[in-house]
Amino acid sequence: MKRLFELDVLRGALLLMMVVDHSSSSLRLFTDQPLGFFTTAECFVFVSAFLAGLLFGKRAEEQGFAAARSASIHRAGRIYLGHLVTLGFAFVLGSFFLSEFPGISNLLDHYLRNQWAAIGGSVLLAFRPPLMDILPMYILFSFLTPAAFAIARRWGWRIVLSFSASIWLIAQTHLRDLLITAFEGVSFIQLGPFDLFAWQLLWVSGLFLGQRYYKNKTLLPLPEVLYSLLLLCTVAFLVWRWSSIAFGSDLITQTWLLDKWHLGPLRLLDFFAAAFVTARLLKHLNHWETLLRPLSLIGRHMLPVFCSQICFTLLLIGRADSGSSNEPIISVLVLCQLATAPLLAWFLEYSRQLAFQPWWPRIRARALGN
């Protein structure tokens, strides 16, 4: 199946924005919720789920449900490996280079208290320190994907979406916070701020739209009147967001209606309205394919580039918190870090193309000096 260039570009742009958001640079003003009351995290989860739903639906139709389920589990295994490598890098910094990177202590306080418990918890996906909590969410959601498709095959997507929405509604009671309080004294548990009971709604919605796009090559058919309302809603949230920055946060932005970690209802409305509006614009990105190729390469090699950027961010945070860097220098370092993403993506793409070429012509060409 041909890759969707526009989605690769979108994922590449989101990753670069995420890098800035994870820093203390003043550049965050332009990347932290720039289009409304939602962040790159919501976009990442939804786009990843959309692609997962599209690919699962394609494999299930062409190769059977068992093959699609196996591919989804295999994908979860690759993400799990990336999770362990990233945490392993952080643990090495925390264990052997803490004096050189003192800022790491703020991120790995649980680990520094009980290292072996934290290592065991990370293997079980129960230890998720800041910056390293999104990959475990992807792993769990990858295992959720075959279950969602199995239920949909038997009872239809309406049941799946209704059940998912019900779980999200229960999550608004902050049930997860009660569970975290119950395990607060357990050293190997650090679940991070994401409420998976709420965020699974984004994933399931992405799965539904992804498999629908594969079948019909379109998303939900929207009449022009409804699309105009969504566009108006998106603009209204955009103006509200930047007004709150310019004139100070209003009280509503501090309530559960726009809560990020539990995905408040107004936040969801803002995101889905912006998503449907953006979907109509993405197809025009193909006209700038050459110009946007660096972003598309980042999106194509998302997992290794993502893990490498988390490691770079850990190094930057570790040094910046020591007081040896001021704000202008931090911004310059972040820009340098951003430049490494397309370079790594290009290297991975080149290595992949080289690996798929027959080995004998390559050896013969080198022997002849060509």
DSSP string for 226-275: HHHHHHHHHHHHHHHHHHHHHH---SGGGSGGG-TTTT-HHHHHHHHHHH
Q: What is the pLDDT of residue 102?
A: 82
Q: Count H helices and E strands in the chain, helices first.
A: 17, 0
Mean pLDDT (the chain) is 88
357 pLDDT above the threshold of 90: no
Backbone angles phi, psi at 202, to 5 degrees: -60, -40
Closest CA to 82 of 311, 349, 316: 311
223-243 pLDDT tens trace: 788 888 999 999 999 999 998
Burial label for 239, CB within 10 Å (0-12, 13-18, 19+), is exposed
Q: Which tokens in the block code for residue 73?
A: 């589990």
Q: In this predicted model, which residue has the larger pLDDT, 224 or 2?
A: 224
Question: If you ran DSSP here, which 8-state letter would residue 133 be given?
Answer: S
Question: If you ran DSSP here, which 8-state letter would residue 101 be given?
Answer: -
Can you tell me the distance from the alpha carbon of 365 to that of 344, in angstroms, rounded to the nearest whole number?
Answer: 26
Residues 310-336: what's their mean pLDDT? 81
259-308 pLDDT tens trace: 999 999 999 999 999 999 998 888 888 888 889 999 999 999 999 999 99
Closest CA to 18 of 310, 287, 362, 350: 310
Q: Above pLDDT 70, what percent of the chain?
A: 91
One-letter amino acid at 208 equals F
Q: pTM above 0.95?
A: no
Q: What is the pLDDT of residue 360?
A: 47
137 pLDDT above the threshold of 90: yes
186 pLDDT above the threshold of 80: no
Q: What is the pLDDT of residue 175?
A: 86
218 pLDDT above the threshold of 70: no
Confidence of residue 364 (pLDDT cuts 50, 70, 90): very low
Closest CA to 38 of 238, 222, 193, 228: 238
66-70, 162-166, 350-354: which range is least confident on average?
350-354
Q: Which tokens in the block code for residue 276?
A: 């449907």
Residues 72-92: what's their mean pLDDT? 94
Q: What is the pLDDT of residue 110?
A: 81
334 pLDDT above the threshold of 70: yes
Q: Which tokens in the block code for residue 168?
A: 């999200």
Q: What is the pLDDT of residue 3?
A: 78
Confidence of residue 351 (pLDDT cuts 50, 70, 90): confident
Can you tell me the distance from the alpha carbon of 53 to that of 145, in angstroms, rounded to the nearest whole number?
Answer: 8
Delimit the domains of the chain by residue range.
5-350
Q: Bridge-partner residues for 127, per DSSP? A: 190
